[in-house]
Amino acid sequence: MIIPMIVSSDKTQLTHFRNKQAYPVYLTIGNIPKDTRRKPSRHAQLLVAYLPTTKLGGISNKSAWHRALANLFHACMGNILDPITLHGETGLLMMSGNRVWRRCHPIFAVFIGDYPEQMLVTCTYNGRCPKCSVSPDELGKLQSFPLHTQSSAIAAYCLADNDNHCAFHLACHQAGLKPIFQPFWEAHPFSDIFNSVTPDILHQLLQGMIKHLIKWLIKIYGSAAIDSCCKAMPPNHKIMLFTKGIATLSQVSGQEHKWMCAVLLGLIIDLPLPGALNSSRLIKAVHMLLNFLYLAQLTSHTNETLHRLQDSLAAFHDNKAIFIDLGVRENFNIPKLHSLSHYESSIQQFGTMDNYNTEQSECLHIDMAKDAYHATNHKDEYSQITIWVEHREKVERHAAFVNWRQQGNQHDLLSQTPLRPPCVPAQTLKMPRNPSVKAETIHDIIGMYGTVDFADVLGDFIAGVLNDSLPGHVTQYCGENIYIPFS
């Protein structure tokens, strides 16, 4: 049984921390459904560490400072994931939810993070794709490019152990990788870090392409026209009304972008384009990008939905040139736009998008980082935060126990057998006093029950009874010469 370990982190959420001394790393344990038609399985998420995000003020050289921060991150991640390195190969006994012990092999399967963290984890440069070898000036094209492979990356990083550092830096440059000494995924042979980087609806679509799209539309039609349409929007079921418009909003959350998507197409459907241009291409581009967003958020996929997902993306690329014609864009070399081309393969491999969306971990950042920081006196935050989180978990476990007892479950937990790996009991043979079938022929015993050595073993038994004083190997030799006159 393979237990995928999904690692997620977000250092940008800890702006409340003075000097940004740490940011949390979460570990998600669960089965990722390979069948895209299945609903996502239940995952258990827990806080495993706070990674340091010190600014390393003693390093004056900017490039050396960036390399030191990257090496510090990979060293910490290596220490965090070191326990599963050995167990991934040898396995260990773990109990599942139905109280059955299984031999499990935990492996590093998926990394969840926004674009800067994906660059940091995969050791690739900013403005590139963390999964494939597309060049920065081809990010706006809808076509497939060769994928990065971890084996080739490890071959380049193995040169770091040699004395010739020039050869190491040259190999990393040719591979399009940062010169990192011993990245944490180097010790996980069953993982592929470039394949483990997954899409993210929150940062790539809602806070990415949808945010860009709204800015483009405001620049095309003007903020006054967009806001007036927002104010004229009638109340409707499950529709968020922006009574003051959307052009002046700042620090818009992912949920607010979802509400904007519900009314965005209705805001521009009747607005004329500058220069009396035909608005059909613009409406088509907006429609297809929104369609891609809603299809990507489905909790169950089939081959038809995946084809429609790719068709929506292709239709957006076919009509995106209208933004260049209107002067709001010069090109579409946007990494987040290119990342949409990897959605279909990721869904086929890791399941539906809600298995690895950062919206889940964003809520954990509030509980484990922001609220924990506000509970401290803002001095020596790390020790206070860990104690606060530990106390909170104990209170939650006690509250769950009290709730369980109040529901009428009076069984004493102390009387239960303690959980431990199963032990193999002593093997004993039990035989009935009276046989269930009588007068079976030797031919039927051999043919019906598969006892092909029955006649030989019976001869050895008879020889042992007749010559009980002889040793076993002698009676076995005598048993070969015993003739059985009955059938």
Question: Which amino acid is it at 158?
Answer: C
Instruction: Please give the backbone phi and psi of residue 352, each rounded to the nearest 5 degrees, phi first.
Output: -65, 160
- Is 257 within a domain? yes
Number of domains in the chain: 3
| Degrees to nearest 5, angle at CA 135 with 131 and 140 | 90
Domain end call among 350, 384, 416: 350
Residues 191 and 172 in one domain: yes
Residues 9 and 136 in one domain: yes
pLDDT, residue 16, reads 36
Q: Of the candidates 207, 203, 201, which has an alpha carbon nearest to the alpha carbon of residue 353?
A: 201
pLDDT, residue 413, reads 52
Residues 55 and 154 in one domain: yes
- Is 38 within a domain? yes
* CA 410/CA 147 separation, integer angstroms: 57
pLDDT, residue 473, reads 64
- Is 407 within a domain? no
Residues 8 and 150 in one domain: yes
Residues 122 and 180 in one domain: yes
Q: Of the candidates 287, 286, 291, which has an alpha carbon nearest to the alpha carbon of residue 310?
A: 291
User: DSSP characters for 4-35?
Assistant: EEEEEE-GGGGTTSGGG-EEEEEEEESPPPSS
User: In Å, how far from its chain's centre is CA 213?
Assistant: 27
Domain membership of residue 434 as a residue range: 426-487
Residues 118 and 17 in one domain: yes
- Is 369 within a domain? no
What single-letter DSSP state applies at residue 104?
Answer: E
From residue 98, how far is each of 2, 55, 94, 271, 409 by CA, in Å?
17, 46, 11, 58, 18
pLDDT, residue 27, reads 65
Residues 75 and 178 in one domain: yes
pLDDT, residue 35, reads 47
Residues 170 and 259 in one domain: no
pLDDT, residue 212, reads 95
- Is 386 within a domain? no
Instruction: Please give the backbone phi and psi of residue 395, each rounded to the nearest 5 degrees, phi first.
Output: -65, -40
pLDDT, residue 477, reads 65
Domain end call among 315, 331, 350: 350
Residues 28 and 177 in one domain: yes
pLDDT, residue 367, reads 78
Q: Please give the chain's pLDDT, 487 residues, in tens.
A: 445 555 565 544 333 333 444 556 766 655 444 444 444 445 667 778 888 877 888 888 988 898 899 999 999 999 988 888 888 888 888 887 778 888 888 888 889 889 999 999 999 999 999 999 999 999 999 989 999 988 889 888 888 877 777 888 888 888 889 999 889 998 887 889 999 999 999 999 999 999 999 999 999 999 999 999 999 988 888 888 898 899 989 889 899 999 999 999 999 998 999 887 889 999 999 999 999 999 999 999 999 999 999 999 999 999 999 999 999 999 999 999 999 999 999 999 999 998 888 887 777 778 788 888 888 888 888 888 889 988 988 998 899 889 888 887 655 555 555 666 666 566 677 778 888 888 888 888 888 888 888 888 888 888 888 877 777 666 666 766 777 888 8
What single-letter DSSP state applies at residue 186?
Answer: G
Domain end call among 350, 370, 398: 350
Residues 36 and 19 in one domain: yes
Residues 171 and 74 in one domain: yes
- Is 163 within a domain? yes
- Is 159 within a domain? yes
Residues 190 and 211 in one domain: no
pLDDT, residue 120, reads 93
pLDDT, residue 337, reads 96
- Is 91 within a domain? yes
